[in-house]
């Protein structure tokens, strides 16, 4: 049975990557980008996405998955160094029944809040200036990408 995907007119993440809509992009590589979500659900909440439109985790190409994992690790390190949270949560949803809202594979990475876990209720939607400030703070602590070892 196929995974039932959310329907939308245009993919929001593809729109952001194409700069047709404003959004804070912390880092953009050849295969993977790290975005700062406007719905901050933790102490530093980032989204790691493939550059190419891939609806779910099941659609990632070999190579993309490795770059995704590297970006997740680096994003977590930047959050840890910037916000010093007690924990870091990583989550990813595939399909409507898993509560995937944007039909482009994305991993959430967020430092836990003081009460533990992440904020699952309503959170204020930050503006781009606010997410840009979060990006600037995190960028100071983002480790460099893993060296490409394809030829090793
Ligand atoms: Zn997309």
33 C-alpha to center of ligand 1: Å?
Answer: 12
Has residue 32 got a pLDDT over 50?
A: yes
For residue 110, tell me if it sits in a domain.
yes
> Looking up tokens 């930047």, which residue turns up?
78
> Looking up tokens 């050849």, which residue turns up?
30
For residue 3, tell me if it sits in a domain.
no
Has residue 35 got a pLDDT over 80?
A: yes
What domain range includes position 96? 12-115+123-139
For residue 33, tell me if it sits in a domain.
yes
17 C-alpha to center of ligand 1: Å?
Answer: 9
For residue 127, tell me if it sits in a domain.
yes
Provide the pairing of β-strand 24-28 with 43-50. Answer: unpaired
Helix or strand or coil: residue 75? Answer: helix
Plot region of 105 (φ>0 → left; ψ -120 to 50 → alpha; else → beta) = beta
64 C-alpha to center of ligand 1: Å?
Answer: 14
pLDDT the model gives residue 20: 96
114 C-alpha to center of ligand 1: Å?
Answer: 33
32-55: average pLDDT: 98
Question: What distance lies between CA 47 and its chain's CA centroid?
Answer: 1
23 C-alpha to center of ligand 1: Å?
Answer: 14
Q: What is the CATH number of the domain that holds 25?
A: 3.30.428.10
Cα–Cα distances in Å, from 87 out to 26, 112, 152?
21, 5, 34
Has residue 152 got a pLDDT over 60?
A: no
108 C-alpha to center of ligand 1: Å?
Answer: 16
pLDDT the model gives residue 67: 96
38-42: average pLDDT: 97
Q: Element (H or E) spanning 32, and its range?
A: strand 32-36
For residue 90, tell me if it sits in a domain.
yes
pLDDT the model gives residue 151: 45
4 pLDDT band, cuts 50/70/90, is: confident
* 49 backbone dihedrals φ, ψ, rounded to 5°: -135, 150
Question: pLDDT digits over 100-144, tens only?
Answer: 999 999 999 999 999 999 999 999 999 999 999 999 999 999 999
134 C-alpha to center of ligand 1: Å?
Answer: 23
For residue 93, tell me if it sits in a domain.
yes
Tokens found for residue 106: 């994305």
93 C-alpha to center of ligand 1: Å?
Answer: 15
Quote the number of domains for the chain: 1
For residue 28, tell me if it sits in a domain.
yes
Has residue 87 got a pLDDT over 80?
A: yes
115 C-alpha to center of ligand 1: Å?
Answer: 34
5 C-alpha to center of ligand 1: Å?
Answer: 12
For residue 107, tell me if it sits in a domain.
yes
């Amino acid at each position: 049975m196929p995974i039932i995907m959310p329907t939308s007119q245009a993919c929001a993440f593809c729109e952001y990557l194409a700069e047709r809509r404003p959004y804070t992009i912390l880092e953009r590589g050849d295969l993977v980008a790290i975005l700062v979500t406007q719905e901050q659900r933790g102490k530093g909440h980032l989204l790691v996405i493939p550059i190419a439109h891939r609806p779910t985790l099941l659609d990632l190409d070999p190579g993309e998955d490795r770059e995704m994992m590297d970006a997740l690790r680096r994003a977590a390190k930047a959050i840890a160094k910037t916000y010093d949270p007690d924990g870091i949560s990583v989550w990813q949803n595939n399909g409507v029944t898993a509560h995937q809202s944007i039909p482009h594979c994305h991993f959430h990475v967020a430092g836990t809040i003081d009460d533990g876990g992440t904020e699952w209720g309503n959170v204020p939607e930050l503006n781009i200036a606010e997410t840009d400030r979060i990006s600037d703070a995190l960028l100071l602590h983002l480790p460099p990408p893993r060296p490409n070892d394809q030829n090793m």
